[in-house]
Chains A and B, each alone.
Chain A
Amino acid sequence: MKIDALVRSADLSRIGELARQAEGQGFDSLFVTENRHDPFLALALAAEQTGGIAVGTCVASALPRSPMHLAQVAHDLQTFFGGRLTLGLGIGDRVDLEDRFGVASHEAAARMRELVLAVRAIWQAWNDGAPLRFEGRYYRHTLMPPAFDPGPTGWGPPRIVLLVEEAGLAEIAGEVADGVVVAGSPEGAFLRDVVVPAVARGLHRSDRDRSEIELSVALDGPPGSADELHEYVDGHYGGLADRMVVPLC
């Protein structure tokens, strides 16, 4: 079981110190969420000020962003910080999308699925020199002149994980993502009866097996001691989750 630390408010003046703290305490990854601050700027500082801890968003708001800009910022962090990046994406709530960002919220899960595929197509163009010809229902990316191609990261593409709250998106994550995060200290039964079967259906659709995706559970509360955490996790999520995400502070 891997244990990741989550910073909820990624204030740029503090993120370096928090990242060093997480690395010093032996966490497997340092995640930042997106609420009050840009999460990618925070990750650049977190990565620069640590030795090798994996870093990622948990999660960044996906739908108001162009797949090209998401691909670009994640590609850069992956390139310059040794392949340490996980790109965690989430949909957010409907009212927030419409009233804060002013973007449409319909067909959100289907758009998220296509956005992940678009980001991967862009990374393939940059990493492997594949021609960029992504033509989906919601996104079209067909232009990538050499002057705008940053070339390979040297570390392959970042991992993509999706924050899921219901079976539909969990199935999509099973199909297209490298990981699933279920937030809010979910009941073990929700994981066992809803998330795991949905992920399995998605894996089946893309002809992948369970080892090709990681299932994370994010806890709301502070972790307590490491022993208490492991005991809690075994009791609630034993055999179901691969990783835990716990608040750093």
Chain B
Amino acid sequence: MTGARAGSVKLDALLSEPDLGEVGRLARYLEDLGYDGLMVPEIKRDPFLPLALAAGPTERMALGTSVAVALPRNPIHLAQIGHDLQTVSGGRCILGLGSQVRAHIEQRFSAEWSRPAARIEELVRALRAIWRCWNDGVPLDFEGQFYRHVRMGEQFDPGPTGHGPPRVYLGAVGEKMTEVAGRVADGLFVHGIATERYLRQVTMPAVERGLAAAGRRRAEIEVCLVLFAITGDTDEEVADAREAVRRQIAFYGSTPAYRPVLEAHGWDPLQAELNRLSKLGRWDDMAALVPDEMVAALSLDTSVEDAGAVITRRFGDLADRVALYGPYRHRPGHWAGLIERLSPRVAVA
């Protein structure tokens, strides 16, 4: 069953690189805790396999990628994966896609990088054309600038999902990609590096421009935030969590693609220095440069008891979904107390 959640923020569990032999049970446990979704990023491992294994043991949670690396993948293959996950989950799939950054696309994936925002926009349109072919029997005839799909042999057509196409969400930080999400996506995953100030000054206006250009309404897109959460059972654990978050912020802060966020706060000189040190592998030195005010702006540094109120106050008018990110060892049920407070639900059957 789905709880009625008007006015509340949905809470997703972020699951990085779960053990594929355990992920079914883990997903069930997270669903029983009350999480609204299970989101798997793509870092070291394939993000789709865990979702296929999580579908059977769960009934209610959205199952998504946040995000899968889109550009090296062929739209037919992405469409196939999304279609299969949508079918097996009974309509709960969120296909979250992101561009990654140039060095990774070219040097890690051996794929082409040019005009990523335009390419991803066309990729989303290509996916929808392929899904219309499979779900509604519309002949496939997609000819774009980057992608061409003009034939779908009967032997390759899986037929309808029975639940419509999966939702497509885009990961974005920069204005261009955020506008693309506003134009064509069902949701937007904003990277954890985005601060409340950046969200209000840059992200939301870009979403609105995209929505307006496509004649869509705000309700047609879900805005999903990732928040660094600094929590622990003891003062020592909280202090360790804060330092782990500081290191992670230093890592993201060194990435040129995220410079606009730092600029919004006047932290851009730090970006150049972090980038320089990252090339030397000096991760400890980098963390030491991240000031407390930056950690505070980027994280939820409060007790689990108060976190729900803090999220609602800071982001309640912006976000439709929130996922907490703790780059340190913690139990899967670590934030269970928060779920109750953030989005109280009637008893789950």
Instruction: Please report A residues at the B interface, Cβ cutoff 8 Å.
Output: 11-13, 35-38, 40-41, 44-45, 48, 61, 64-69, 72-73, 75-77, 79-81, 95-96, 99-103, 118, 139-144, 147-150
Contact = CB atoms under 8 A, between A and B. Distances in A.
A141 B110 contact: yes
A11 B76 CA distance: 17
A100 B106 CA distance: 24
Contacts of A48: 20-21, 24, 53
A196 B110 CA distance: 33
A41 B20 CA distance: 11
Nearest to B79: A38
B156 A80 contact: no
A95 B156 CA distance: 14
Interface stretch (B38-46, B259-267, B297-305): B38-46
Contacts of A149: 44
Interface string B1-31: 0000000000000000101110010000000
Given A12-B88, A147-B44, A69 B73 contact: yes
Interface of B: 17, 19-21, 24, 43-46, 48-49, 52-53, 55-56, 69, 72-77, 80-81, 84-85, 87-88, 103-104, 106-111, 147-153, 155-159, 251
Given A12-B88, A140-B107, A103 B74 contact: yes
A80 B21 contact: yes
Contact of A142 (B44, B45, B107): B107
Contact of B20 (A38, A81, A102): A81
Contact of A76 (B46, B75, B88, B107): B46
Contacts of A67: 110
Contact of B151 (A38, A81, A100): A100
Given A37-B84, A99-B150, A144-B108, A64 B76 contact: yes
A142 B53 CA distance: 32
Contact of B49 (A11, A35, A44): A44
B46 A64 contact: no
Contacts of A77: 20, 49
B72 A38 contact: no
Nearest to A68: B109
B72 A66 contact: yes
Contacts of A75: 45
Given A61-B77, A76-B45, A118-B110, 18 more contacts: A12-B88, A36-B80, A37-B80, A41-B48, A41-B81, A41-B88, A44-B20, A64-B76, A68-B109, A68-B110, A73-B46, A77-B20, A80-B20, A80-B21, A99-B150, A100-B149, A141-B108, A148-B104
Nearest to B42: A72
B158 A37 contact: yes
A133 B298 CA distance: 36
A43 to B, nearest CB: 9
B76 to A, nearest CB: 5
21 contacts: A11-B158, A12-B55, A36-B156, A36-B157, A36-B159, A37-B158, A38-B80, A40-B46, A40-B49, A41-B49, A41-B52, A61-B77, A66-B72, A73-B48, A76-B45, A81-B21, A99-B150, A100-B152, A102-B149, A147-B43, A148-B43
Contacts of B84: 12, 37-38, 41
